[in-house]
């Protein structure tokens, strides 16, 4: 039977874009269905491989990875939205078999040879290929075109990583309805049918990231109280420890060092990952690899005890976000009703043992499939936002953008409400002056973080703060924006900056500058400043200013991607995406008195010390 255009538009999918595996689900027939790929598997490896004349994604990419390690790309999620100079990126590039170089504006680029040419890909381009594969998988299963999607990210992903993930979805031809946090999605999978109010901790340990979220849920309301995590801690780290151990074993036995042999390392990685999985169910396992190097075989017996010894520091580190999350929520361990496991690495017995110790022996909840729960929850959120579930011809009615839907009686999504939080504090770099009445003095530190939105603030949220000038006739103000928990911006993550120009000449403290921080439901930040006397306004959507290579079959060209953005997303969506492709331009700097900086600004708060925006003139780092 032919499918009408209206019916095609009904489907919205949920995608768990994982570090090592990805999963896609759809809500239909009053339930979330995990969609198997073309191999019949319910999860798909987050791998992309380039051969001489074709590109492979998923299982096909993994199957040839040992033969072509330098052109088989994985762990893109560990690079997305980061700077090449980040310590975590520098750590990873030493372990990855493919080449990662520094691209424009300190962005990591993946270097590969394809079709006889050397090409560079941004991590979000690689992620977009995985997302496109998940979309194709859903379309083949549903027999319908699919455009709308909810994509999950680690709760502790920063603003740049979230925006880069959204850009990846756009490149893949998806309308990204929402970016939601992975543990929140897992909580939806766990608590959709629960009526009684319960405090639930989601412990989500995946292939590359760890998230811990504490929610109060019941009767369709999912209220996130606090979240914590580590975006560079997961199963891949455990694998790397095992690989290093095996390299040392081979070196000790045979006096051969395979640490520079990418093919040997890929074979070891594959065997170690399989051994890690088996050690969750058995006490020891043999690792055997024929002809690892120079015709010499490798074999060793690895016990669970040895595996735990190798990774004990990591396992203990996995408990730190649990304590932080409890502290931020102001909740004791006895107040937590359920501890729910998500993510494949949560199956590791030692991790479960340490987690139980934190909660005084409480039984852990293992009732949801840790590999599929996040995609399940994302599919639920997608159905609510889409307003259409295609069950018995009924539409999911009254879905609204803040995550709340009123659904017809008998539908499991009735009165579904999602209340999430921002994981990191957001603010502006400022300078601090002691003052008494009419005098402002003391040294300017140029490294202080003035927080406008504290971490674990419920989103969406809009916060305003009034500023004014410090100097007479000041014409311009620069606003550098950061996220993080340190009082020093040098220890936090720089997001971007913008300049408010053409302030009418006036004595200091007279201009009224209203600064607004606005976080949408995706966790993406918009910042603006308005001169109240003139209405002059300037702002920025904080994003990664992605510059894609244009080598992904034409799909990374800005204009072609903008055509895929549907009309109801509006000009703001198009503008945001154009910004992300590097088209944001600062205004020219206005003249200022020679003896002062042109960018100083004072916070209008008589009860506190004077605060000025960082006065250092610098070029855009994005």
The pTM of the full predicted model, rounded to 2 decimals, is: 0.82
141 vs 516: CA distance, rounded Å: 44
For the stretch 333-350, pLDDT in tens is: 999 999 999 999 999 999
> Tokens representing 397?
């009615």
- Nearby residues of 112 by Cβ (< 8 Å), 6 or more positions away: 50, 70, 71, 73, 98, 99, 118, 119, 121
Q: Which of 16, 125, 136, 432 is catalytic?
A: 16
Q: Which of 92, 136, 182, 520 is catalytic?
A: 182
Long-range CB pairs of 485-493, under 8 A, 24+ apart, other chains included:
485/424, 485/425, 485/455, 486/449, 487/448, 487/449, 488/447, 488/448, 488/449, 489/429, 489/447, 489/448, 489/449, 489/614, 490/447, 492/449, 493/158, 493/159, 493/160, 493/424
**What pLDDT shows up at residue 178?**
96
CATH of domain 48-121: 3.30.30.30
**What pLDDT shows up at residue 513?**
84
**What pLDDT shows up at residue 402?**
38
Tell me, letter by letter, the H, E, C secondary structure of 34-74: ECCCCCCCCCEECCEEECCCCEEECHHHHHCCCCCHHHEEC
- Is 59 annotated in the active site? no
Point out which residues pair with 438 in neighbouring strands. none
> Tokens representing 320?
């730190």
> Tokens representing 43?
């999860």
Q: Give strand ranges (E) for 4-61.
A: 12-16, 21-28, 31-34, 44-45, 48-50, 55-57
Class of domain 235-313: alpha beta
- Is 485 annotated in the active site? no
Helix, coil or strand: residue 477: strand
Q: Which of 92, 125, 136, 204 is catalytic?
A: 204
- Is 182 annotated in the active site? yes
| Helix or strand run (H / E) with residue 8 | helix 5-10
**What pLDDT shows up at residue 7?**
46
> Tokens representing 337?
């009703």
**What pLDDT shows up at residue 392?**
35
DSSP letter for each residue of 120-132: EE-HHHHHHHHHH
| Helix or strand run (H / E) with residue 355 | helix 349-358
Answer yes or no: are the C-beta atoms of 119 and 551 closer than 8 Å: yes
For the stretch 438-475, pLDDT in tens is: 333 223 446 888 899 999 999 999 999 887 777 788 88
Q: What are the residue ranges in the chain where pLDDT is below 50?
A: 1-8, 389-410, 433-445, 544-622
- Is 573 annotated in the active site? no
* Separation of CA 452 from chain center: 22
Q: Which of 77, 175, 276, 555 is catalytic?
A: 77
> Tokens representing 438?
């009419």
Class of domain 426-545+584-613: mainly beta
Structural domain spans, the chain: 48-121, 235-313, 426-545+584-613
């Amino acid at each position: 039977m032919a499918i009408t255009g209206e019916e095609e538009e009904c489907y919205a999918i949920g995608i768990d874009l994982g570090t090592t595996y990805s999963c896609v689900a759809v809500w239909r027939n009053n339930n979330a269905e995990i969609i198997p790929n073309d191999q019949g598997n319910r999860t798909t490896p987050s791998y992309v491989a380039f051969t001489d004349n074709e590109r492979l994604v998923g299982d096909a990419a993994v199957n040839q990875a040992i033969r072509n390690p330098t052109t088989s790309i994985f762990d893109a999620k560990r690079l997305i939205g980061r700077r090449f100079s980040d310590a975590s990126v520098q750590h990873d590039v030493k372990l990855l078999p493919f080449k990662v170089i520094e691209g424009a504006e300190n962005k990591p680029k993946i270097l590969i040879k394809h079709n006889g040419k050397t090409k560079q890909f941004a991590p979000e381009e690689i992620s977009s290929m995985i997302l496109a594969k998940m979309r194709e998988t859903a379309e083949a299963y549903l027999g319908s075109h699919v455009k709308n999607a909810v994509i999950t990210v680690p709760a502790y992903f920063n603003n740049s990583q979230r925006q880069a993930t959204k850009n990846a979805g756009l490149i893949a031809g998806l309308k990204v309805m929402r970016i939601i946090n992975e543990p929140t999605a897992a909580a939806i999978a766990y608590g959709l049918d629960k009526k009684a109010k319960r405090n639930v901790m989601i412990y989500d340990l995946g292939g590359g990231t760890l998230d811990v979220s504490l929610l109060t849920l019941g009767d369709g309301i999912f209220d996130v109280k606090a979240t914590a995590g580590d975006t560079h801690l997961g199963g891949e780290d455990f694998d790397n420890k095992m690989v290093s151990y095996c390299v040392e074993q081979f070196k000790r036995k045979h006096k051969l060092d395979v640490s520079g042999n990418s093919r040997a390392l890929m074979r070891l990685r594959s065997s170690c990952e399989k051994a890690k999985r088996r050690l969750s169910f058995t006490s020891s396992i043999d690792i055997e690899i024929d002809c690892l190097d120079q015709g010499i075989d490798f074999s060793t017996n690895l016990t669970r005890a040895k595996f735990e010894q190798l990774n004990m520091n990591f396992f203990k580190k996995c408990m730190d976000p649990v304590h932080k999350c409890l502290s931020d929520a102001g909740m004791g361990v006895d107040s937590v009703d359920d501890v729910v496991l998500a993510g494949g690495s949560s199956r590791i017995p030692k991790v479960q043992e340490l987690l139980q110790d934190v909660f005084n022996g409480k039984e852990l909840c293992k009732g949801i499939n840790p590999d599929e729960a996040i995609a399940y929850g994302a599919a639920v959120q997608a159905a609510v936002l889409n307003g259409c579930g295609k069950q018995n011809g009924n539409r999911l009615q009254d879905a609204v953008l803040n995550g709340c839907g009123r659904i017809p009686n008998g539908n499991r999504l009735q009165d579904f409400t999602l209340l999430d939080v921002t994981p990191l504090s957001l603010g502006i770099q400022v300078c601090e002056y002691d003052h008494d009445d009419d005098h402002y003095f003391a040294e300017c530190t140029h490294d202080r973080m003035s927080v406008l939105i504290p971490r674990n603030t419920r989103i969406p949220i809009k916060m305003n703060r009034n500023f004014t000038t410090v100097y007479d006739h000041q014409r311009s103000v620069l606003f550098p924006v950061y996220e993080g928990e340190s009082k020093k911006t040098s220890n936090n993550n720089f997001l971007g900056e913008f300049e408010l120009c053409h302030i009418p000449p006036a004595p200091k403290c007279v201009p009224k500058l209203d600064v607004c921080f606005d976080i949408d439901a995706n966790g993406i930040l918009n910042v603006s400043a308005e001169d109240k006397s003139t209405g002059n306004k300037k702002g920025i959507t904080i994003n990664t200013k992605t510059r894609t290579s244009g080598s992904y079959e034409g799909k990374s060209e800005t204009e072609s991607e903008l055509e895929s953005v549907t009309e109801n997303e509006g000009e703001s969506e198009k503008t945001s995406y154009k910004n992300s492709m590097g088209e944001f331009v600062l205004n020219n700097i206005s003249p200022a008195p020679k003896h002062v900086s042109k960018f100083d600004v004072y916070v209008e708060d008589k009860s506190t010390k004077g605060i000025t925006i960082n006065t250092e003139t610098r070029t855009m780092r994005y």
